[in-house]
Structure 1
Amino acid sequence: MTAAKLEIPEAIVSALGDWVQQQAEQASAGPRAELERSEQALAEVRGELETASAARDQAQALAAARDEEIEQLQAELRNARSIATDALVGKAKDQLAIEGKDAQLADLRAQIERNVAAAAALSDARLTAEMELVGAVTARDNYAAEIKELRARLATRQAA
């Protein structure tokens, strides 16, 4: 005994195949649209991350440049102090040997006052440079916090 084979006409098989494909496309249309929206949102967040990363890199480069400037100013200040001290000592010795004590003291006082004013100007320049560095470091920290926030939002969107 052989089992009878059921033969389905080709037109019905083709119509069923078309119907199944149509149902599958309709069922996947919503998820595809959502996937496309998610990919667009992800691309936007990636763009924001790149922008924030570039800004952070610029801030770090600026901070490094300011650090270098501060180091240079400090070295120049030390050198200027040394030169001024040597000049004052040399001049004081020469004047003590030549002039009277009262005139020497008045001249030395004027020199010291000028030297103190010059040292104060150098100190002010150094303080200004340090304050600019603090501003650059603050900007860098702000960019780092913004990047961290963007990464957290990106992770939240990817998890969802």
Structure 2
Amino acid sequence: MASEDVTFDQVAAAAAKLQKAGKEVSIDAVREALGFGSPTAVYKHLAAWRAEHVKPPELPRPDLPESIVNDLVEWVRQFADQASAGVRESMAQSASDAEALLRAGDELEAERETLQTERARVEAELADRSEEIDRLNAELRNARQIATEALVSKAKDQLAIDGKDKQLAELRAQLERNVTAQAEESDRRLAAEMDLVGATTARDSLEAELKDLRKQLETSYAERSKLRAEIEVLRGKK
């Protein structure tokens, strides 16, 4: 419970209870009995309670004639009033100083509570910032993972394209070798046939061979065009 929640009635009840039990009525005793309250707030209410409930001590009356005793008591009272004038003035100044201290204590208490509120706000803001940083770090890790997977996929596609290019080059070289070998074979067969059956038969055979070679070349060109189309498709997927 905050110090400003302490009321005069609560302090007065605790002080009366302590007084009835024969215990010392002090600030610490009242705070202990209440279980809450700042020293400044308890002191302010306890001072008001003491002014109402603590009686000044009675002067002892000696065994003398009543007239002398009355005169003596009156003289003592006057002397005490004169002697305590300075004390009362000092007490009044002390009370004023105490009141100033109480006000300063209340101001410090209010400032402390304001600082506690500000501290709670800053801590809450730091917690929010920490959650935001964690979220951004998670997004960054996710983005890095996606980028890495994209690079790996691109590298795989590039390897596949390179493999197709290599395969096409090998097929082209093989086709050229086959055409060269078939041409050489045709030349040999042509020479042999010309020797065997004459020039006319050799010519007919040569034309047939040439037609066959043309068909093979057309087939080879078609295969090469098909391979080029596949390569263009793969390159378009990069």
User: Do Structure 1 and Structure 2 share a fold, with TM-score over 0.5?
Assistant: yes
Residues 62-110 of structure 1 show CA distances to partners (whole Å, capped at 9, x for unaligned) of 0111111011111101111110110111111111112133322222111
- Paired residues of 2:194 and 2:201 also in contact (CA < 8 A): no
Looking at structure 1, the residues matched to 212 and 123 of structure 2 have their Cα atoms a distance apart, in angstroms, of: 88
Looking at structure 1, the residues matched to 134 and 182 of structure 2 have their Cα atoms a distance apart, in angstroms, of: 71
Looking at structure 1, the residues matched to 226 and 153 of structure 2 have their Cα atoms a distance apart, in angstroms, of: 23
Bigger mean CA deviation after superposition, 62-71 or 41-50: 41-50
Report the equivalent of 2:222. Answer: 124
Report the equivalent of 2:151. Answer: 53
Query: Deviation of residue 44 (structure 1)?
Result: 2.6
Bigger mean CA deviation after superposition, 49-58 or 119-128: 119-128
Percent of aligned pairs sharing the same letter: 13
Q: 1:85 aligns with which of 183, 187, 208?
A: 183
Write the letter of the residue equivalent to 2:151.
S
The structure with higher relative contact order (CA 8 Å, sep 6+) is 1
Stretches of structure 1 that go unaligned for 5 or more consecutive residues are 1-11, 141-160
Give runs of ≥4 in structure 1 deviating > 4 Å.
14-21
Report the equivalent of 1:133. Answer: 231
Residues 107-147 of structure 1 show CA distances to partners (whole Å, capped at 9, x for unaligned) of 2111111111112222222222222222222222xxxxxxx
Report the equivalent of 1:145. Answer: none
Query: Deviation of residue 42 (structure 1)?
Result: 2.0
Q: 2:196 aligns with which of 70, 95, 98?
A: 98
Write the letter of the residue equivalent to 1:110.
A
- Highest CA radius of gyration, 1 or 2? 2
Report the equivalent of 2:122. Answer: 24
Superposition RMSD on alpha carbons, in Å? Answer: 2.8
- Paired residues of 1:69 and 1:129 also in contact (CA < 8 A): no
Write the letter of the residue equivalent to 1:96.
M
- Which TM-score applies when normalising by structure 2? 0.48
Stretches of structure 2 that go unaligned for 5 or more consecutive residues are 1-109
- Which TM-score applies when normalising by structure 1? 0.68
Write the letter of the residue equivalent to 1:60.
Q
Aligned pairs, how many?
132
SS at match of 2:237: helix
- Paired residues of 2:168 and 2:227 also in contact (CA < 8 A): yes
Looking at structure 1, the residues matched to 145 and 160 of structure 2 have their Cα atoms a distance apart, in angstroms, of: 23
Looking at structure 1, the residues matched to 215 and 120 of structure 2 have their Cα atoms a distance apart, in angstroms, of: 88
Looking at structure 2, the residues matched to 30 and 17 of structure 1 have their Cα atoms a distance apart, in angstroms, of: 20
